[in-house]
Amino acid sequence: MVSIFLGNRYEVLSKIGAGGMADVYKGRDTMLNRYVAIKILKREYREDDDFVRKFRSEAQAAAGLLNPNIVNVYDVGEDRGLYYMVMELVEGITLKDYIEKKGGLSHKEVISIAIQICSGIGAAHEAGLIHRDIKPQNIMISKEGKVKVTDFGIAKAVSSNTISSNAMGSVHYTSPEQARGGYSDEKSDIYSLGITLFEMVTGRVPFDGDSTVSIAIKHLQEEITPPSEYVPDIPYSLEQIILKCTQKNGERRYAGTSALIQDLKRSLVDPDGDFVVIPPLRNADTVIITDDELDDIRSSYDEDEDDDEGYGGGYNDYSDEDYDDYEDDDDDYENDDYDYSGGYGRDSGGRKNRKDSDEVNPRMNKVMKILMIVVAVIIVFIAIFAIGKGAGIFKSFGSKVTEDKEEDQVKVPDVIGKSEEEAREILKKKKLGLKVVSREESKKYEEGTICEQKQKAGSRVKKNSTIQVVVSSGLVGEEIIVPDVSGMSEEDAQKTLHNEGFKNVKSEYQYDDSVAEGDVISTTPAANAKATEDTDIKMLVSKGAEKKKVPKVTGMSEADAQNALAAEGLLAYVLYEASESVEADKVISQDIDAGKKVEAGTTVTIVVSTGSDKVEVENFTKRPSSELESWAANNGLYTIASESYTSDTRFPAGTVISQSPTTGKVSKGETISYTVSLGPEPQQPDTPQQPDTGNGDTGDTGDTGQ
């Protein structure tokens, strides 16, 4: 077989992958004697000067990036009409394939991978480059557990304010601004990373469809389903991170990867924390597109696009056996001293083909441990600073104490579309007041309805603050009566509202015990209210009965356990059982694991200890039998007695001569056998003797002298 060489240096060995513009081959650098990946521009693009320029631009841009979480570019060149780029060969698996094999990753593994992706993307952003094609197919996980971002095939300088349709990222992961063909920046990569996080957690992409156009439009006009709908046990903080990354409006996403990494690290130590801040909405979160723009989007996409193309990076030679080696043996992780549990341990009810929920690549342990050490050090410094500040040591660093502590703040509810009375009641429950600052005509809301609030919904304010609102003094425009869609399915209700002429209908969701899941509870504005076609109609849709998290009650007293379950809306069924290891009145076990979410009113069976049923036997030998009988009765034991005479003076009558058993422990309900003394055996009395007459005649006295 004749070897193919490029640049008189690189030997081409075998094809290992394909991308949108180039094929990838495994090669050998004969000068440095190392294996490399060689990307060669596809034949159909070699004659296209524009593609050649992009290919060279990609190589030059990527060559300047030096980061352990980016695939290194070693060289770029041209040989006999073949344009090639020489890169680091990553022996491993794409994140896409890793997700497909596992069906969904544990939250700890998701965070570990995400932090490394952010590190690579952040390095590119600092160099003035946007990736624009972040997706699991372009993320490699090496056999050593290192995560690397690859394929900067459509990366361009940040100063560029347009992106061609040919360079648009894979549609399942594309940002709304990319889908619309507009300006894209670092936040576009943040959005694509958010979609990737969603897929890591759930094992699925949030938007799918029959064509690239339909998927692109969903990115523009539909909100993603919260991951907890598919994976109920996802930590709250991680879900909020994903939701913030995938906001339609770029201003509501993370400004950069540094802030995202900070929240990811915090999520490791505070899974249920409410620390992710999504900026309030200033404009419509979804985008309404015109027919002309829709035609442009259709023409921008190639309907035959293969969304699974990517770097490949050696995975074609990576067997299932290698994969098994990759994910086996979490002993190091499981034995880690740090407790990641955070109150979880719930079942993975919604996960698709989920393997062990806390399984993680053992080679990720080193990364995780380093991250935890960094977080621990930061926490220690914060604690030292707080203590020092309290003692007055750090006054020079600023003596002002923030009065608006987080626990003293509340989220502002959305009262737009509500009547004044309704708004006051809603705000009152949040310990907030209401002040009408003006009354103005409205094109959306009828007279007496809140048409604007100065403090945006979702923002945080101090308790007892006053929320300023504008109330409609009258509806301007053609009036439409809001139909009553309560009780309808969400789909039917949307059709009904659209048929009435309303253009802006949006769903919000909440738990409701009395309305079936998926049915409409109410609308804002309310049914029969006056509105116009421009009015924002918010449908409140039922999520069904609220799931309750089962508390951990093992080790609690019976009363405390019942109270804890009742506080969560759950019932308790109590069984009693003797236990040598659990003291009396403490809960031994519960039949539903702590942390699992169940319907309100579910009965949890708990087993309560009655204490040990064993009794330490006392020896009552030589003691009155009445003492043994009394002791046995008090300890739940039965007795069987026998009696015996004894000449042994040690056992007066009424005392115990012997018992069985005499020592050890017996269970309550068992029998103690004993023998009680009757004292010495009584002596028999002597038999009386007849007097002797001397002749042996005992009857006749003889003749009297006749």
Nearby residues of 456 by Cβ (< 8 Å), 6 or more positions away: 280, 281, 282, 412
Helix/strand/coil percent split, the chain, to 5: 30, 25, 45
Q: How far apart are CA 80 and CA 46, in angstroms?
A: 11
- Residue 84 forms beta bridges with which residues? 40, 77
Q: Count CB-CB contacts under 10 A for residue 604.
A: 23
Among residues 206, 308, 191, which one has the least CA distance to residue 255?
191
Take residue 301 and report the two structure tokens written for it.
Answer: 């996409």
Q: How far apart are CA 666 and CA 639, in angstroms?
A: 13
CB 233 within 8 A of CB 348: yes
* Crossing angle of helices 212-221 and 291-300, rounded to 10°: 130
Q: How far apart are CA 253 and CA 240, in angstroms?
A: 11
- The number of residues in the chain equals 706
9-16 LR contacts (CB < 8 Å, sep 24+):
10/36, 10/38, 10/75, 10/84, 10/86, 12/38, 14/317, 15/316, 16/312, 16/313, 16/314, 16/315, 16/316, 16/317
Catalytic residue among 133, 233, 414, 519: 133
Q: How far apart are CA 349 and CA 108, in angstroms?
A: 18
List, as one string, the DSSP characters of 67-122: -TTB--EEEEEEETTEEEEEEE---EEEHHHHHHHHSS--HHHHHHHHHHHHHHHH
Nearby residues of 331 by Cβ (< 8 Å), 6 or more positions away: 362
H or E stretch at 511: none
* Known catalytic residue at 133: yes
Nearby residues of 284 by Cβ (< 8 Å), 6 or more positions away: 504
Residue with tokens 């020079």: 396
Catalytic residues: 133
